[in-house]
């Protein structure tokens, strides 16, 4: 039987989603506990491989079990075994052709920037930004990033091409934080963090809009701006049909 779970997790306690020998990861922890439940090896597949320090409110995961376990019971037992830094929000059975990654329509990421005085309790969960932040500047860069582009200059690692579509970039103030919300399909490694980095560099006058536009229009120029820290990034939701 194939199951789908929606999970949240505190990324500061793990070395990312993908299993890594000798280090705690989301995938590794889930596979360890599910293998105990199913009394045999279980492999899990996630909608996205979040990096070390990146959090999630709505990561999607699927896996196959040999035993037919009622979803309410599976959710309850799994939550007891994986707590406290991972939590199963929802659990359901799905068809065997469903795939947590390849069935995705869109993903939504949120990057949180804290503007108050330094707070050690927020250090692992936001970017504590020590400069004036102009929302109008962030919105100008956000408009450039929307649409279909080759994001090669906003991605870590070598790929043949990094075409992706950002359907919406929304920026809003939430108490003492600024949230930058990205929605789209085809996010690559460090892509959101590099897009946020471009926004911050523009905000600080370290680049102009033409620089960012050229990075999108000329993916072969091999230019990158700053990479924002992982701490402020959240995989907020994954959307399926």
Active site members: 51
Phi/psi at 108 (nearest 5 deg)?
Answer: -125, 125
- Token pair for 167: 């359907």
In angstroms, the CA 212 to CA 108 distance is: 22
> What DSSP assignment string belongs to 20-72?
BTTB--HHHHHHHHHHHHHTS---EEES--PPTT-EEEEEEEEEE-SS---HH
- Token pair for 46: 């996630």
How do beta strands 147-150 and 163-174 pair?
antiparallel
């Amino acid at each position: 039987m194939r199951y789908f779970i929606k999970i949240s997790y505190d990324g500061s306690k793990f070395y990312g989603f993908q299993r890594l020998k000798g280090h705690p990861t989301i995938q590794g922890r889930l596979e360890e506990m599910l293998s105990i439940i199913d009394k045999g090896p279980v492999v899990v597949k996630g909608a996205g491989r979040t990096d070390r320090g990146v959090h999630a409110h709505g990561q999607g995961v699927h896996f196959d079990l040999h035993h037919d376990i009622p979803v309410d019971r599976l959710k309850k037992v799994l939550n007891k075994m994986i707590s406290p830094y991972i939590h199963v929000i929802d659990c359901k059975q799905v068809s065997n052709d469903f795939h947590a990654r390849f069935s995705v329509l869109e993903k939504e990421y949120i990057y949180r920037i804290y503007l108050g005085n330094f707070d050690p309790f927020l250090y692992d969960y936001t970017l504590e930004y020590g400069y004036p932040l102009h929302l109008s500047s962030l919105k100008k860069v956000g408009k450039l990033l929307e649409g279909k582009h080759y994001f090669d200059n906003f991605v870590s690692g070598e790929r043949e091409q990094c075409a992706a579509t950002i359907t919406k970039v929304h920026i809003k103030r939430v108490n003492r934080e600024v949230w930058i919300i990205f929605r789209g399909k085809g996010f690559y490694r460090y892509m959101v963090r590099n897009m946020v980095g471009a926004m911050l560099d523009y905000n600080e006058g370290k680049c102009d809009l033409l620089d960012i536009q050229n990075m999108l229009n000329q993916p072969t120029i091999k230019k990158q701006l700053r990479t924002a820290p992982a701490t402020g990034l959240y995989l907020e939701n994954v959307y399926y049909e």
